[in-house]
């Protein structure tokens, strides 16, 4: 049977992907360029018995999402740079309390109000380090409308599987462009639900590591009573200041991502095998980069594209390996050089490194990338 197809905007594909993933709660606050996600879910969620609420502010939005998730609903919020700045404290809460949830950030420029209707990729480091304290981060950056659908499903899966917040980083270009997408049928994509406790309510501890680095999570109202706090805590969920327990908790919450990189990381490699120069790009910028790589190949330059779909954790092993094979890596991004710092960290001085950067609200075009490649080769 032919797949159902549609011409969908990126933000629409995100909303549809959320429904596919089993999202039952959206708490949001209006902000350009992400509002379509909220608008569509206000229409779609009640149809499937889900809940939509427009909260009083960005902080309230993520607070409601964490509350709903603890009550057993897969939950989503969508915002943009300034909204993510406001959400940072509670993003950290979701990290330490280990509450699955998905945060969409349709990136624009900044800092502050910046250029609300222009594209940007300047929240890459905010996604990694925005909230205070040591913590792991998972952030995904799709580049097409189809991929926004599938990565939204994957974001929910990772949030549920690893009991943590997952950020979806679009930029205004992928969020607002329209492309043909094929709707996956139910069953085409894996949908993961959080692991429920296998023990009785009397024996349940919300941070019991005897089940591994990701403890099973019960829902409020399901017959399990437990305590949740943003304080460092012991296995039973109650606050502790015991040095060894705090240390164990902090390290475990980072380890649960680090030890599962193979499951979480996702990259696309295009014409990389014989490449002498690598363009490393993500999100909408990777579309210009692909065009540039094709043009360069036609001109006889052995160029390849490395596109991280999972931005965090950064694919450090593979990038370090590629850094030893190529003469140069060019990193185009719509910021003044954020992801290039990670590339620099892992390739060290094994190859030349150059950025192509724009923060004027205009996309990076293939010509700029081609020029930079020629410059470094």
Question: Interface with other proteins by CB under 8 A: which residues?
Answer: 24-25, 27, 43, 46-47, 49, 51, 53, 55-57, 59-61, 63-73, 75, 89-90, 93, 201, 220-231, 238-239
To other proteins, the closest distance from the beta carbon of 57 in angstroms equals: 6
Q: Beta 328-333 vs 352-357: how paired, if at all?
A: parallel
Instruction: Identify which of residues 94 and 173 has a Cβ nearer to other proteins in the complex.
Output: 94
Instruction: Identify which of residues 65 and 334 has a Cβ nearer to other proteins in the complex.
Output: 65
Beta strands in 153-200 (DSSP E): 165-171, 178-182
Closest CA to 173 of 107, 230, 96: 107
To other proteins, the closest distance from the beta carbon of 293 in angstroms equals: 45
To other proteins, the closest distance from the beta carbon of 82 in angstroms equals: 16
Closest CA to 285 of 310, 316, 307: 307
Instruction: Specify the length of the chain in residues.
Output: 377
Instruction: Identify which of residues 47 and 298 has a Cβ nearer to other proteins in the complex.
Output: 47
To other proteins, the closest distance from the beta carbon of 200 in angstroms equals: 13
Cβ atoms 286, 307 nearer than 8 A: yes
Q: Measured on CA atoms in the order 167, 44, 28, 79, is the torsion positive or negative?
A: positive
Instruction: Identify which of residues 26 and 149 has a Cβ nearer to other proteins in the complex.
Output: 26
Helix or strand holding residue 331 (H, E): strand 328-333
To other proteins, the closest distance from the beta carbon of 86 in angstroms equals: 11
Closest CA to 23 of 50, 47, 42: 50
Cβ atoms 190, 22 nearer than 8 A: no
How many C-beta atoms surround the C-beta of residue 60 within 10 A?
19
User: Does residue 188 sit in helix, strand or coil?
Assistant: coil
To other proteins, the closest distance from the beta carbon of 66 in angstroms equals: 6
């Amino acid at each position: 049977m032919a797949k159902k197809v549609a011409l969908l905007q990126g933000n629409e594909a995100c909303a549809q992907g959320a429904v596919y993933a089993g999202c039952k709660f959206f708490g949001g606050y209006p902000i350009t360029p992400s509002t379509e996600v909220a608008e569509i879910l206000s229409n779609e969620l009640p149809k499937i018995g889900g809940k939509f609420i427009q909260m009083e502010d960005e902080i309230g939005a993520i607070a409601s999402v964490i509350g709903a998730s603890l009550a057993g609903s897969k939950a989503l919020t969508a915002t943009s740079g300034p909204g993510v700045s406001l959400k940072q404290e509670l993003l950290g809460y979701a990290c330490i309390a280990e509450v699955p949830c998905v945060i969409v950030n349709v990136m624009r420029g900044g800092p502050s109000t910046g250029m609300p209707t222009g594209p940007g990729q300047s929240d890459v480091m905010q996604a990694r380090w925005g909230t205070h304290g040591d913590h792991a981060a998972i952030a995904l950056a799709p580049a097409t409308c189809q991929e926004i659908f599938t990565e939204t499903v994957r974001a929910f899966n990772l949030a549920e599987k690893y009991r943590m917040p997952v950020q979806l980083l679009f930029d205004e270009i992928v969020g607002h462009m329209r492309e043909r997408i094929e709707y996956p049928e139910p069953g085409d994509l894996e949908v993961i639900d959080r692991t429920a406790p296998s023990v009785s309510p009397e024996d349940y501890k919300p941070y019991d590591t005897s089940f591994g680095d990701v403890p099973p999570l019960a829902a409020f109202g399901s017959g399990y009573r437990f305590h949740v706090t943003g304080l460092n805590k012991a296995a039973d969920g109650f606050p502790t200041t015991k040095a060894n327990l705090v240390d164990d908790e902090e390290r475990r919450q980072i380890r649960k991502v680090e030890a599962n990189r193979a499951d979480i990381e996702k990259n696309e490699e295009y014409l990389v095998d014989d490449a002498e120069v690598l363009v490393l790009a993500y999100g909408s910028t990777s579309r210009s980069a692909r065009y540039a790589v094709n043009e360069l190949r036609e001109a006889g330059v052995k160029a390849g594209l490395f596109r991280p779909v999972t931005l965090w954790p950064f694919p450090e092993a593979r990038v370090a390996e590629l850094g030893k094979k190529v003469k140069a890596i060019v990193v185009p991004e719509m910021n003044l050089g954020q992801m290039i710092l990670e590339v620099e960290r892992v390739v060290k001085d094994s190859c030349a490194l150059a950025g192509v950067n724009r923060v004027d609200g205009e996309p990076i075009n293939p010509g700029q990338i081609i020029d930079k490649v020629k410059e470094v080769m």
